[in-house]
């Protein structure tokens, strides 16, 4: 026989973004509890679900009672007589007759001892003990206490607990709340103190306007939008949020006055999306329509109150935005430059005016044209505008739009607009040349400055988002094919070089999907021009699967070891007169021929194929020729040959880094 | 439809029926109802307390000369403190909305994560902004710390933004169109104040004078704090007047800020100065009112 189990942690509204992580933890820890306590029976499984007010775990296949166990308790050595004090004492201590003792070997000696029967505990008992620590152990980003100082901590106050095993309540207490079989419906549409069983829990909730499954709520929102007959800007993240801030979601269509469409689309979308959690509505050309879709946490809006309320709020927000726009136009971007002296970038690194000057100098140094330079001077001035104070996420974008409105040339306003890009690894790099250069200079300035004053990120702490900045630099250099050596940007700072190497590895492996040893091999051969690193990596990954390549890589590793053992690090030319006829001369001839062809090619993939074609000659060499020749001059000459072979062909990739089967 | 003041009466009545002391606004300038001593000092220590009051709250930087329909230099909050928090606090809160005529079955109410923190007061709490049909009408906070002191009993703080709430209830687009009482609009009562204080705060306040005042209040506050340890009859030590000087400093800081007189770099330092006074006052209050707890 096996039992089902239901746990519902009833809470006040939990922040939406924390819920999925909490559920994962709950499922994992509950499975662990059942495994350690030997409660997992046939078909054991665990599933979780949640709304903002409840975390629910359901399990099937629990054993009602742990199996009984037998434990061997060793006593005195067998050499002791059954009647001896040692043996009788041991028996008395365990409450048994000495005659009932048995003997077993503990591997070395025979010992008296007894088999003790340990009855299994009831599953309900085990759970009653295990659940409170499991609940309090859910890791939340920031917890609170509510029953008084020193009381239980959770993300929000826990108000009810349902815990049922089979048809019985598992009795326990957490934060002064006793477990039971009563749940709560939707705050206004549902009943309170609803009696449930494992079988009818979900249905009873549904009757009381709580859709327990996130997937069902998601589908309900999707269908709701569809039924409204509009096309919304797809937004999975917003959908995730809405799924977890509602128990009974329903969609309504609202509208706003067409006149607001004259405000920048970016502002309209930000207000709708970030401030109000609405989906914006688009026509078939992808242009904004004066409509929005709001998701309510209630069944419907028969009298239109909710729609009217939301429309009113949106109107006020749009009016604010228009007010900010108008106020901000009273000063041009250029007039705002001196105001940047009052905006601190970082205490030790000065104001944004200081930063602006550094970035502009760097843009010039990197060969930026007048447009790029102008963009650099204006880029940060939007930090002084009302609009950016209100919509911080739109920094840069607002600056670009204002520059455009103030008739700055297109390359200038575009560069400002996109100079924070890429915002993530998925985000595209700036489109314009000036934008790329400005973005690069801005990020490099931040990185250099922060590293100089000892603000390099440590562990998970990265308050200045330096990892993202460096990642952005890498992405722009590679994907923008900028002919700027990395060294020129980071100077000779060792920590910064290490930091960038990490970012490079991350980018090429995680974002571009290259194999880690290929990345290591190519980076070991140098990483100054990142577009060149990319070209070498592509070539290497193409040649990698060919038959000759990996064996040749293995030979290179062998060469590397031989040279290392011989401490051989510098060499003159190969003395051809010392070469032995046969495999040694053959290798030398193939080597020089391949070298000349590789030099002539200049293209990495064919060059690597050429190098791979050396494999038979190398194999035969190692097979037939003794590198460690007795005669010193011959030995040195052979090492010299290997040295040149390694050095000559390690400029594309260091083959000894390739992990071979 | 209820007039502005009727809504206030109803909310006060509602919380009075639930055992709250109905207080009057505090008479020193504050930026929020939280700063009035009825909240800041009362939440400290193990003594239960329930209180509700309207608190006009000054935010000099939010002034718009009376020209913005939603932003005010001085707005009115209805502040409720329930210490300790009753288990059904959210039900009670929703009941208060129904008491002022909002049929919640016909509206959309959501609790969205919004933790509150006041660096100047050394205070923080966990809670939500309560959204009614997309409009933020209330800040709901479980206080955790005040004046740098962990709270013995966790109070719930419910702060209603009265202008927003009433504009919603009356269906008007501008807070200035709210009917305060029959025939009198919000505009009639408050416009001049919004306009004149915006002019003063943004254009005429003398920065040098404000700094002098700040320094004076800070000095007086610190002098009192320093006097406490040597003061004999602790129970009659003037902690409450000490706290008034903290409030003065806080308001002067806000004024200087709206004058654009505080750079971002200085900001942290000035906040630290006010915080030091607030934390010091909270500690003195604790040792005066609850010597047993404070000694722990």
Q: What is the pLDDT of residues B149-198, one digit of tens each?
A: 899 999 999 999 999 999 999 999 899 999 999 999 999 999 999 999 99
Phi, psi of B147 (to 5 degrees): 55, 30
Structure-token pair, residue A254: 């609202």
Separation between Cα atoms, residue A560 and residue A567, nearest integer Å: 10
Query: Could you identify the residue written with the tokens 């140098």?
Result: A526
Phi-psi region of B20 (alpha: psi -120 to 50; beta: other; left: phi over 0): beta
What interface predicted TM-score (ipTM) does this complex get?
0.94
What Å distances lie between residue B220 and A123, A626, B215, B276, CA to CA?
66, 92, 9, 13
Domains and CATH numbers, chain A: 3-65+122-207 (3.30.70), 69-118 (no CATH), 214-319 (no CATH), 333-538 (1.10.3210), 547-657 (1.10.730.10)
Global pTM value: 0.81
The residue with greater pLDDT, A1 or A163, is A163
Average pLDDT of span B187-216 = 95
Separation between Cα atoms, residue B148 and residue B151, nearest integer Å: 9
* Alpha-helix residue ranges (DSSP H) falling in chain B: 4-17, 37-40, 89-99, 162-170, 186-199, 207-227, 239-258, 264-289, 291-295
Task: Name the least confident of A392-396, A429-433, A565-569.
Answer: A565-569
The kind and range of the H/E element at A539 are helix A530-543
The residue with greater pLDDT, B125 or A463, is B125
State whether the Cα torsion B277-B282-B288-B292 is positive or negative.
negative
Q: Is residue A189 less than 8 Å (CB to CB) from chain B?
A: yes
Separation between Cα atoms, residue A296 and residue A597, nearest integer Å: 70
Extract long-range pairs of A359-365: CB within 8 Å, 24+ residues apart. Answer: A359/A438, A359/A441, A359/A442, A359/A445, A362/A441, A362/A444, A362/A445, A363/A437, A363/A438, A363/A441
Terminal alpha carbon distance of chain B:
53
Average pLDDT of span B70-83 = 95
Q: What percent of chain A has pLDDT over 90?
A: 61
Range with top average pLDDT, A370-379, A534-543, A639-648: A370-379
- Interface probe for B, chosen from A176, A187, A300, A309 (most Cβ of B below 10 Å), is A309
- Which among A152, A354, A150, A85 has a CA at the least distance from the CA of B264? A354
Cα Rg for chain A, rounded, in angstroms? 36
Average pLDDT of span A591-617 = 84
- Confidence (pLDDT) at A424: 87
Chain B residues near any Cβ of chain A (below 8 Å): 68-71, 84-85, 87, 90, 94, 104-113, 115, 125-126, 128, 132-135, 142, 144, 150-154, 168, 171, 173, 260, 263-265
Average pLDDT of span A372-394 = 92
- Confidence (pLDDT) at B265: 58
* Cβ–Cβ gap B70/A316 under 8 Å: yes
* Cβ–Cβ gap B135/A309 under 8 Å: yes
Is the model's pLDDT at A661 over the cut of 70? no
- Which among B60, B1, B59 has a CA at the least distance from the CA of B200? B60
| Strand residue runs (E) in A283-348 | 288-296, 344-346
Separation between Cα atoms, residue A481 and residue A20, nearest integer Å: 40
- Confidence (pLDDT) at B296: 59
pLDDT digits (tens, 9 = 90+) for B80-138: 999 999 999 999 999 999 999 999 999 999 999 999 999 889 999 999 999 999 999 99
Banded pLDDT at A332 (limits 50, 70, 90) = very high
Average pLDDT of span B5-11 = 98
List CB contacts (< 8 A) between B113 and chain A: 13, 15-16
In this structure, are strands A350-351 and A344-346 parallel, antiparallel, or unpaired?
Answer: antiparallel
- Confidence (pLDDT) at A213: 97
CB atoms under 10 Å from CB of A581, counted, come to 7
The residue with greater pLDDT, A626 or B294, is A626
- Confidence (pLDDT) at A606: 84
Is the model's pLDDT at A651 over the cut of 90? no
* Cβ–Cβ gap A305/B260 under 8 Å: no
Query: Could you identify the residue written with the tokens 């060919």?
Result: A546
* Cβ–Cβ gap B110/A314 under 8 Å: no
Structure-token pair, residue A548: 């000759």
pLDDT digits (tens, 9 = 90+) for A66-78: 999 888 888 888 8
| Averaged pLDDT of chain B | 94
List CB contacts (< 8 A) between B126 and chain A: 142, 144, 156
Separation between Cα atoms, residue A634 and residue A620, nearest integer Å: 18
| Strand residue runs (E) in A298-365 | 344-346, 350-351
What Å distances lie between residue A61 and A3, A125, B74, B263, CA to CA?
6, 17, 62, 64
What Å distances lie between residue A358 and A139, A355, A420, B52, B224, CA to CA?
43, 5, 17, 54, 48
Banded pLDDT at A278 (limits 50, 70, 90) = very high
Task: Give the distance from residue B282's alpha carbon to the nearest chain A alpha carbon, in angstroms.
Answer: 17
- What does the angle CA A176 – CA A179 – CA A182 come to, to the nearest 5 degrees? 120
């Amino acid at each position: 026989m096996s039992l089902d189990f239901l746990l519902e942690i009833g809470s006040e509204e939990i922040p939406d973004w924390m819920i999925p992580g909490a559920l994962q933890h709950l499922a994992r820890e509950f499975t662990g509890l059942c495994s350690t306590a030997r409660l997992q029976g046939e078909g054991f499984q665990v599933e979780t679900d949640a709304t903002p007010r409840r975390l629910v775990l359901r399990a099937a296949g629990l054993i009602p009672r742990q199996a009984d166990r037998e434990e061997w308790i060793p006593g005195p050595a067998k050499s002791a007589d059954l009647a001896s004090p040692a043996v009788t004492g041991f028996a008395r201590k365990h409450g048994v007759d000495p005659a009932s003792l048995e003997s077993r070997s503990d591997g070395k000696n025979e010992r008296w001892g007894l088999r003790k029967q340990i009855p299994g505990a009831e599953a309900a008992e085990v759970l009653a003990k295990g659940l409170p620590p499991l609940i309090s152990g859910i890791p939340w980003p920031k917890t609170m206490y509510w029953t008084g100082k020193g009381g239980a901590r959770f993300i929000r106050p826990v108000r009810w607990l349902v815990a049922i095993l089979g048809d019985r309540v598992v009795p326990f207490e957490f934060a002064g709340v006793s477990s039971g079989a009563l749940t709560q419906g939707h705050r206004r549409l549902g009943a309170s103190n609803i009696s449930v069983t494992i079988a009818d829990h979900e249905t009873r909730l549904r009757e009381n306007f709580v859709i327990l499954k996130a997937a069902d709520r998601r589908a309900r929102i999707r269908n709701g939008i569809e039924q409204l007959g509009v096309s919304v800007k797809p937004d999975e993240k917003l959908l995730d949020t809405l799924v977890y801030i509602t128990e009974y979601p329903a969609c309504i269509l609202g509208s706003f006055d067409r006149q607001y469409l004259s405000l920048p689309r970016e502002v309209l979308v930000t207000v709708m999306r970030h401030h109000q959690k609405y989906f914006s509505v688009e026509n078939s050309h992808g242009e904004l329509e004066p409509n929005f879709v709001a998701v309510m946490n209630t069944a419907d809006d028969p009298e239109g109150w909710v729609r009217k309320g939301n429309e009113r709020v949106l109107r006020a927000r749009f009016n604010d935005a228009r007010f900010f726009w108008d106020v901000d136009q009273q000063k041009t971007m250029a007039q705002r430059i001196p105001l940047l002296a009052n905006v601190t970038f970082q205490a030790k690194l000065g104001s944004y005016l200081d930063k602006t000057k550094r970035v502009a100098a760097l843009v010039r140094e990197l060969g930026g044209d007048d447009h790029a330079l102008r963009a650099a001077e204006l880029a940060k001035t939007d930090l002084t505008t009302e609009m950016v104070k209100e919509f911080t996420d739109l920094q840069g974008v607002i600056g670009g739009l204002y520059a455009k409105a103030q008739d700055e040339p297109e390359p200038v306003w575009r560069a400002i607009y996109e100079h924070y890009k890429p915002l993530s690894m998925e985000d595209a790099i700036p489109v314009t040349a000036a934008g790329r250069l400005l973005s690069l200079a801005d990020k490099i300035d931040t990185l250099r400055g922060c590293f100089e004053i000892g603000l390099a990120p440590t562990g998970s702490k990265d308050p200045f988002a330096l990892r993202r900045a460096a990642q952005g630099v890498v992405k722009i250099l590679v994907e923008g094919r900028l002919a700027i050596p990395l060294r020129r940007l980071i100077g000779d700072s060792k920590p910064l070089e290490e930091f960038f190497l990490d970012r490079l590895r991350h980018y090429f492996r995680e974002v571009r999907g290259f194999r880690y040893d290929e990345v290591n091999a190519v980076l070991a051969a140098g990483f100054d021009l990142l577009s060149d690193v990319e070209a070498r990596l592509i070539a290497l990954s193409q040649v990698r699967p060919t038959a000759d390549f990996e064996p040749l890589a293995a030979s290179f590793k062998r060469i590397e070891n031989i040279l290392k053992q011989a401490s051989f690090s510098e060499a003159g030319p190969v003395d051809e007169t010392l070469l032995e006829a046969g495999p040694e001369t053959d290798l030398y001839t193939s080597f020089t021929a391949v070298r000349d062809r590789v030099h002539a090619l200049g293209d990495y993939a064919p060059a690597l194929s050429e190098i791979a074609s050396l494999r038979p000659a190398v194999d035969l060499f190692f097979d037939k020729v003794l590198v460690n020749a007795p005669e010193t001059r011959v030995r040195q000459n052979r090492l010299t040959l290997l040295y040149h072979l390694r050095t000559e062909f390690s400029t594309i990739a260091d083959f000894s880094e390739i992990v071979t089967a | 439809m209820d007039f502005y003041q009727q809504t206030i009466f109803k909310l006060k009545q509602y919380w009075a029926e639930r055992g709250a002391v109905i207080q009057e606004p505090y008479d020193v300038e504050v930026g929020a109802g939280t700063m009035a001593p009825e909240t800041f000092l009362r939440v400290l220590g193990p003594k239960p307390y329930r209180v509700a009051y309207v608190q006009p709250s000054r935010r000099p930087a939010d002034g718009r000369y009376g020209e913005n329909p939603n932003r005010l230099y001085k707005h009115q909050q209805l502040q409720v403190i329930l210490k300790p928090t009753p288990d059904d606090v959210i039900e009670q809160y929703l009941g208060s909305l129904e008491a002022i005529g909002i049929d919640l079955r016909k509206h959309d109410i959501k609790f969205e994560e919004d933790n509150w923190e006041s660096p100047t007061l050394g205070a923080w709490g966990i809670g939500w902004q309560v959204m009614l049909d997309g409009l933020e009408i209330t800040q709901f906070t479980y206080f955790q710390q005040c004046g740098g002191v962990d709270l013995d009993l966790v109070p719930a703080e419910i702060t209603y933004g009265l202008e927003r709430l009433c504009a919603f209830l009356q269906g008007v687009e501008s807070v200035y169109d709210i009917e305060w009482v029959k025939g009198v609009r919000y505009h009639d009562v408050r416009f001049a104040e919004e306009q004149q204080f915006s002019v003063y705060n943004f254009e005429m306040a003398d920065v040098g004078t404000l700094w002098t005042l700040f320094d004076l209040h800070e000095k007086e506050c610190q002098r009192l704090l320093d006097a406490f340890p040597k003061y004999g009859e602790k129970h009659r030590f003037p902690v409450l007047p000490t706290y008034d000087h903290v409030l003065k400093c806080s308001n002067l800081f806000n004024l200087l800020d709206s004058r654009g007189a505080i750079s971002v770099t200085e900001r942290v330092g000035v906040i630290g100065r006010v915080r030091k006074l607030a934390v010091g006052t909270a500690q003195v209050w604790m040792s005066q009112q609850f010597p047993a707890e404070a000694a722990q």
